[in-house]
Amino acid sequence: MTNSAKVYRVALAGVLGAQALALSWLESLLPAFPFLPPGFKPGLSNIVVMFAVSQLNLPTALFLVLIKAGFALVTRGATAALTSLFGGLLSMGAMALLLRPKRKVFGLVGVGVFSALMHNLGQLLAAMLLTGTVSLFSYAPALLVFGVLTGTVTGCVLRAVMPLLEKQSKYFVSHTG
């Protein structure tokens, strides 16, 4: 790969990172959801991670997960960063397994739901690790419902914006030679 191609790939990762952070910031403006712990949001920024897993590569998706966790650290503190990191890594792993070309058994909505459930599980595990208590597991039923709902939304939104994200990516990839 030429230096020019590397620059365009890094630029694409930067643009996707900015999009994920913008969606994260927009989510921070939403009020807390009833019956859920503070800080649990719909996961709209995971749309960008799911796109990266499905259309680009795992290193780019990992970069996005780390950028999102870093943003959480700067804007909401260490607890938010750790829950973002745990949730993001589990979610990305689920996406990677379900979006592999030979295994596309689920559509984007199914992947959105499963990855949302894994993200919630990761956040719950991080919270249990931080607090040293398993009583937080009592949130699991509400998180299950929440994950199905939000995963459905993120999968539908990704399906709707996929052509735009692909067009954006092709601009960068067309310059990679």
Tell me the pLDDT tens digit for each residue of 137-164: 888 888 899 899 999 999 999 999 999 9
pTM listed for this prediction:
0.87
CATH assignment of the domain containing 66: 1.10.1760.20
Residue 36 lies in a domain: yes
Window from 39-43, 62-66, 95-99, 129-133 with minimum mean pLDDT? 39-43
Identify the band that residue 170 occupies on the pLDDT scale cut at 50, 70 and 90.
Answer: confident
Identify the band that residue 101 occupies on the pLDDT scale cut at 50, 70 and 90.
Answer: low
Instruction: Please tell me the total count of domains within the chain.
Output: 1
Q: What is the pLDDT of residue 6?
A: 81
For residues 166-172, average pLDDT: 85
Q: What is the pLDDT of residue 104?
A: 65
pLDDT greater than 70 at residue 103: no
Residue 117 lies in a domain: yes
Identify the band that residue 171 occupies on the pLDDT scale cut at 50, 70 and 90.
Answer: confident
Residue 105 lies in a domain: yes
Residue 177 lies in a domain: no
Average pLDDT, the chain: 88
Cα-based torsion angle of the residue sequence 87, 12, 176, 97 in order, rounded to the nearest 10 degrees: 20
Domain around 134: 3-172
Residue 19 lies in a domain: yes
